[in-house]
Amino acid sequence: MLSRPLMLATILGVSIGVPYFVANRDDLSSHFSNPFSGSGQSSPVAAAPSPGQPKPQVPFDSPGSLIYSSPVPLEGAQFRSLGEVLRFDVTKEWVYRNWARKSTGLADPELFGVRVPFVTGTGMSDLAGSLTYYFNSQGQVQHISFVGRTADPSQLVQFITSTYKLQRVEAPAGEQLYQTKRSGLVQSELRTQPDGVLWTTSPHGSFLVDLALERPGSNRMLPPRTPPLDIPGADVPPAGAQVAAAQSAESQGGIMNTLFPEGARYATPDEEGQVMEHRWPH
């Protein structure tokens, strides 16, 4: 049991502390619910509305919207005109300055390549894909390539044909092909082809675009896109000659004899039996 002095001290503490806590409950709750109170800083938590006031309507935002107030800008969309980028008077420093992300040192062993993302906009004739500049040893743009998609290639075709004088040539069914040639070899080329699967929800990818531009006046040519496959073929006589040969063989003892070289014959029954006897183990 507790001693009498300790019991008296406990009763005295309870009689003083409980009334104080009850009297200051509202102040204590507001202090602990808002640690910024009394420090001169504004609280990030909105104050509760007083009785009778309407509750404020907070619009729904995605996570992080209070930190990132605006969406990240689309990379590669700083140019709206093809004439601003499809040009041979730019430098590597210009490319580095206008694109934050780029890939360098690409496949061509004779040229230095810099590949960047490129988007002209969201219209039906805008382009989206990868743009590559190839620089020669003098620091000049020697070659430009673009691979991407669009919903309407007519604007690109108009720019290429009027600026770099590409002309339409015969192409496989479904494709559009524009080229410039020198000494019978292709120097620059634009290919457009409808995508194999078209979606109404993503019309901007309806056409595949493949552009390869060589510096005007250059002696470089594009390599053959699909080298011919040389398969030696047997000389097949025309159908009339085959019929005549079959009739001649049949008159000489059967058409099947023409399937064997000279001196060959069918096996006799005894020879076939010997082969079958040794075919499977006993």
10 lies in some domain: no
Report yes or no: 127 and 153 within 8 Å, Cβ to Cβ: no
**Whose CA is closest to 126, among 153, 101, 102?**
153
Query: How far is the C-alpha of 175 from the C-alpha of 207, rounded, in Å?
Result: 10
| Count of other CB atoms within 10 angstroms of residue 135 | 18
Q: Buried b / exposed e across 61-72, counting CB within 10 Å, b at 16+? A: eeeeeeeeeeee
Average pLDDT, the chain: 73
- Residue 93: its pLDDT value, please? 95
**Residues 223 and 240: beta-carbon distance below 8 Å:** no
Give Cα 203 distance to the centre of its chain. Answer: 16
Within a domain: 114? yes
DSSP code for 99: -
What are 124-178's pLDDT values in tens digits?
899 999 999 999 999 999 999 999 999 999 999 999 999 999 999 999 888 999 9
**β-sheet bridge partners, residue 213:** 144
Please give the Cα distance from 2 to 17 (Å, whole number): 20
Domains held by the chain: number:
1
Tens digit of pLDDT for each residue in 193-248? 988 776 666 667 789 999 999 999 999 999 887 654 555 554 545 555 555 555 55
Contact partners, residue 170, CB within 8 Å, separation at least 6: 177
Contact assessment for residue 151 and residue 108, using Cβ atoms and an 8 Å cutoff = no
- The average pLDDT across 253-257 equals 48
Does some domain include residue 238?
no
Residue 113 included in any domain: yes
Give the position of tokens 């192409």: 171
Q: Please indicate, yes or no, if residue 175 is contained in any of the structural domains.
A: yes
Q: Which residue has the tokens 């082969």?
A: 275
Q: Is the pLDDT of residue 261 over 50?
A: yes
Comparing CA positions, the residue from 86, 166, 169, 71 lying closest to residue 127 is 86
Residue 73 domain-assigned (yes or no): no
Expressed as residue numbers, the domain containing 179 is 82-214
- Rounded CA separation 74/42 (Å): 35
> Would you say residue 170 lies in a domain?
yes
Q: Answer whether residue 41 is part of any domain.
A: no
pLDDT of amino acid 25: 54
Q: pTM of the predicted model, to two decimals? A: 0.55
